[in-house]
Amino acid sequence: MKNTTNSIIEKNLNKLLDSYEQNKGTNFVDERRLPEAVVINQVMENLLEILFPGCSGKREITSGNLQYVIGDLLSQVHSDLKEQILLAYKHECNLETCTKEICVKKSEHAIDLLITSLVDIRTILKKDVEAAFAGDPAATSEEEIVISYPGLKAIAIHRIAHILYMDKVPIIPRLMSEISHSHTGIDIHPGAQIGEGIFIDHGTGVVIGETTVIGKKVKIYQGVTLGALSFPKNACGELIRGQKRHPTIEDNVTIYAHATILGNVTIGANSLVGSNVWLKEDVPENTRVLADTPEMIFRAVRKSIRQAQASVG
């Protein structure tokens, strides 16, 4: 039995090795090793701790040790993320024409840019927290929002990922957004441009596409999709990338649960899009878009059914 097992393993091992040689686009070994999701996840947790000191409860932070703790976190983020960004650049490069020095310089620039941007990110996130508190009567404090609201966590990570995306860092921003998606149920492409004071209420199932532009003080409920209507192709049938294909949501817009807005359309400022609306066209400013109320049918439950339910209860 053991010899048979070894024979099967050896036979299929050779087949796998052959497939690696034939299909190199899905191999991630040696210099083409990909960034590690587990490291990126830890980097994100450390960045959230920097943006909201003490939010995780994992570190005891006081005014006396704040400088030490934040300095330690910054050093860890700088070291870990720089290494991961370097892996991403090296993976993207054609190793025959790119030197390691170029990748190192790019990774140093990216991590320095992110660290420098953290104060500005904190300023914007403060307005996001205020918007959530103002928009949710169930919220008891801003602190509650920071430590427990998935929408705020998703936005915080997005604002980090967007900095790297705009600096053209490969792989890392999308990896951050997908880890955030798995944690929060909110799927925001790192390319989306989102203004200050956004509030994603509940959040589960929200999808925001790559070329979406969202203005200031926008409120979005669960299940909303800001997606693409179609994907333009060139003469060879290949997707044309980089074009604006997602909605623009102007300032002070509210989008209620499970609304779907598709394509390069604009929802004008101060407008409201109701639940379950399906939109593929522009909406003027100061407009309410509502779906027809579905016809409700009420039928009395037969006596025998009520008795059966009562006996089960």
CA dihedral 260, 264, 267, 269 (to 10 degrees): 140
Architecture of domain 33-186: Orthogonal Bundle (1.10)
The span from the CA of 49 to the CA of 47, in Å, is 5
Residue of 297, 275, 301 whose CA lies nearest to 288? 275
- Predicted pLDDT at 230: 73
- Predicted pLDDT at 214: 98
**pLDDT grade, residue 30 (50/70/90)?**
low
- Predicted pLDDT at 188: 98
Is the pLDDT confidence value at 63 over 90? no
Eight-state DSSP code of residue 236 = T
Eight-state DSSP code of residue 34 = P
Eight-state DSSP code of residue 293 = P
Architecture of domain 205-313: 3 Solenoid (2.160)
**Boundaries of every domain in the chain:** 1-26, 33-186, 205-313
Is the pLDDT confidence value at 83 over 60? yes
The span from the CA of 168 to the CA of 93, in Å, is 13
**pLDDT grade, residue 32 (50/70/90)?**
low
Q: Are 48 and 160 in contact (CB under 8 A)?
A: no
Which is more confidently placed, 177 or 241?
A: 177
Produce one character per residue of 147-177: b if its CB has 16 or more CB atoms within 10 Å, e if not. Answer: eebbbbbbbbbbbbbbbbbebebbbbbbbbb
Average pLDDT for residues 109-123, to the nearest whole number? 97
User: Which tokens hold the place of 89?
Assistant: 């650049």
pLDDT above 70 covers what percent of the chain?
88
The span from the CA of 27 to the CA of 18, in Å, is 12
